[in-house]
């Protein structure tokens, strides 16, 4: 019976300690922002549909943090984005000098606006991130993979960092 009390006390103390260090559960937004909108990002690249994949990933990342994403007309704040660069490079090769690993890099311009107070919460030009992926077959299959799986993977990873960038300020 005594070990159970010690364990309970340890959990309680850990909870109090973590709470006093500024750790919180859930996401933080400015006090007047209860929900956000994420309109479809603008695609300034030649890569078709990357804007849809990226926007969907950002919406999912906000939702996964417990933030309500609503239509623009109902939003307290809006996160807008432009995809300004999309680039795929080979970064690793096999012994026959065939590309095996590729890097997908995207650059974005982002702005987070408080529409209720008509103020800019933050803006970042040239936010850049990347995702690496391995080829699984011939060149045609790799190109197909790059256009589907790699873009989704990169968008998910980049979206998490975009959301962190938006939330870490509060």
For residue 6, the model assigns a pLDDT of 39
- 153's enclosing H/E stretch is helix 151-167
For residue 80, the model assigns a pLDDT of 97
Quote the CA–CA distance of 89 and 5 in Å, as a whole number: 57
Alpha-helical runs (H) found in 1-138 = 2-20, 50-64
Q: What is the pLDDT of residues 36-47, one digit of tens each?
A: 999 999 999 998
- The CATH class of 28-167 is alpha beta
**The whole model's pTM is what?**
0.74
pLDDT at 71 over 60: yes
For residue 102, the model assigns a pLDDT of 83
pLDDT at 135 over 80: no
Give me the percent of the chain exceeding a pLDDT of 70.
75
């Amino acid at each position: 019976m005594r070990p159970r009390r010690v364990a309970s006390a340890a959990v309680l103390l850990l909870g109090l300690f973590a709470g006093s260090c500024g750790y919180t559960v859930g996401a933080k937004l400015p006090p007047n922002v209860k929900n956000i909108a994420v309109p479809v990002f603008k695609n300034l690249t030649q890569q078709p549909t990357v804007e849809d994949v990226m926007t969907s990933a950002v919406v999912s990342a906000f939702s996964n943090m417990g933030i309500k994403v609503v239509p623009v007309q109902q939003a307290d704040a809006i996160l807008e984005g432009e995809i300004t660069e999309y680039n795929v490079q080979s970064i690793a090769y096999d012994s026959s000098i065939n590309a095996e690993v590729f890097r997908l890099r995207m650059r974005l311009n982002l702005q987070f606006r408080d529409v209720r107070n008509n103020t800019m919460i933050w803006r970042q030009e040239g936010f850049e991130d990347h995702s690496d992926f391995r080829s699984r077959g011939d060149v045609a299959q790799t190109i197909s993979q790059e256009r589907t799986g790699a873009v989704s993977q990169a968008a998910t990873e980049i979206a998490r960092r975009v959301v962190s960038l938006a939330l870490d300020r509060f």
